């Protein structure tokens, strides 16, 4: 999905990542909104997602990271500036990619870096005696954009991999230097506020915008404030692109680790 808002400016692309046990449909309004505003957008389906929970059970976190970085490479190959964006676990993958790749800006919605449940730290053992758990349910979105793709049960082996991803992402945060905009729901039953606090305290980005979401649950990209997320993301990325064009015409921006 792509279009070009300003033919005189740089071609801007965005790799958008969905969350754990979800599917691209969970971020579709965000992706479509950015595409309508002139960005070349790609939303990959992460391995083990969009099929069956048993498929997710056998996946490793590096498969998810490699899949998203492959999407980033495709977007970068056809544009001048690469931006990354993600919801929940997708936010962690976007931040990790930003620490490793040449990106011009980052947008995250309810980014994951930790859990409410302290028992998660023992999943390395628990997963050996129990295979699944029920996912956290949220109130239905007032204007649903379609099935989020969530599985009816969550494999604990995959949650263990998610924990390993969060740990690796946390180690990567000091290498994140690109401008960052972060959205966080006031009421999020999935990801604790401490995750975003740690992100904002650890990244090396000089430009950081924070946007509180007062009316949205965890999957805010499909809820009442989805239009706000689209508008603020597009404005932020456009500002990053303009700053890059003024600073270093003809070259890519970001951090390359």
Sketch out the chain's domains with CATH numbers.
12-247 (3.40.50.1820)
Question: Is the confidence at residue 148, as pLDDT, over 70?
Answer: no
Q: What is the pTM of this model?
A: 0.86
pLDDT class of 99 with cuts at 50, 70, 90: very high
> Can you name the residues that pair with 209 across neighbouring β-strands?
181
89 in a known ligand binding site: yes
Query: Residue 142 corresponds to which tokens in the numbers above?
Result: 């007032």
Contact 224, 216 (CB under 8 A): yes
Range in 5-9, 85-89, 181-185, 227-231 with the lowest mean pLDDT = 5-9
Catalytic annotation, pick one of 80, 218, 223, 253: 218
Q: Which of 231, 242, 213 is nearest to 33 (CA)?
A: 231
Helix (H), strand (E) counts: the chain: 8, 8
Question: Is the confidence at residue 240, as pLDDT, over 50?
Answer: yes
Catalytic annotation, pick one of 40, 150, 188, 223: 188
Query: Residue 1 corresponds to which tokens in the numbers above?
Result: 């999905």
How much is the pLDDT for 257?
34
CA distance 208 to 196: 12
CA distance 93 to 58: 19
Catalytic annotation, pick one of 26, 88, 172, 185: 88
Catalytic residue flag (residue 88): yes
| Average pLDDT score, the chain | 85
pLDDT class of 136 with cuts at 50, 70, 90: very low
Query: Residue 167 corresponds to which tokens in the numbers above?
Result: 């740990």
Phi, psi (5° rounding) for residue 13?
Answer: -125, 150
Catalytic residue flag (residue 214): no
Question: Is the confidence at residue 2, as pLDDT, over 60?
Answer: no
Query: Residue 103 corresponds to which tokens in the numbers above?
Result: 């990106």
pLDDT class of 143 with cuts at 50, 70, 90: very low
Q: Residues 82-95: pLDDT tens digits?
A: 999 999 999 999 99
How much is the pLDDT for 4?
44
If you write DSSP's letter for every residue of 20-64 in order, what string do you get? TT--GGGGHHHHHHHHHTT-EEE-PPPTT-SS-HHHHHT--HHHH
20 in a known ligand binding site: yes
H or E stretch covering 195: helix 193-202
Query: What is residue 186's three-state secondary structure?
Result: coil
């Amino acid at each position: 999905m792509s279009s070009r808002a300003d033919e005189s400016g740089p071609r801007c692309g965005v790799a958008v990542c969905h969350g754990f046990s979800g599917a691209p449909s969970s971020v579709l309004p965000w992706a479509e909104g950015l595409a309508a505003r002139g960005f070349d957008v790609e939303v990959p389906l992460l391995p083990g997602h969009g099929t069956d929970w048993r498929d997710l059970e056998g996946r490793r976190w590096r498969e998810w990271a490699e899949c998203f970085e492959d999407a980033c490479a495709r977007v970068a190959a056809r544009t001048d500036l690469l931006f990354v964006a993600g919801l929940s676990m997708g936010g962690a993958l976007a931040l990790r990619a930003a620490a490793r790749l040449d990106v011009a800006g980052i947008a995250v919605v309810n980014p994951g870096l930790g859990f409410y449940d302290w028992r998660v730290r023992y999943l390395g053992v628990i997963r050996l005696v129990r295979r699944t758990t029920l996912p956290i349910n949220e109130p239905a979105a007032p204007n649903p954009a379609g099935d989020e793709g969530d599985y009816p049960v969550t494999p604990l082996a995959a949650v263990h991999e998610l924990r390993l991803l969060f740990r690796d992402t946390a180690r990567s945060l000091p290498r994140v230097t690109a401008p960052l905009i972060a959205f966080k729901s006031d009421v999020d039953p999935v990801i604790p506020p401490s995750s975003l606090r740690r992100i904002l305290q650890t990244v090396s980005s000089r430009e950081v915008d924070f946007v509180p979401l007062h009316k949205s649950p965890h999957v805010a990209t499909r809820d009442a404030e989805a239009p706000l997320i689209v508008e603020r993301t597009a404005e932020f990325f456009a500002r990053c692109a303009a700053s890059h064009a003024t600073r270093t015409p003809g070259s890519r921006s970001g951090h390359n680790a």
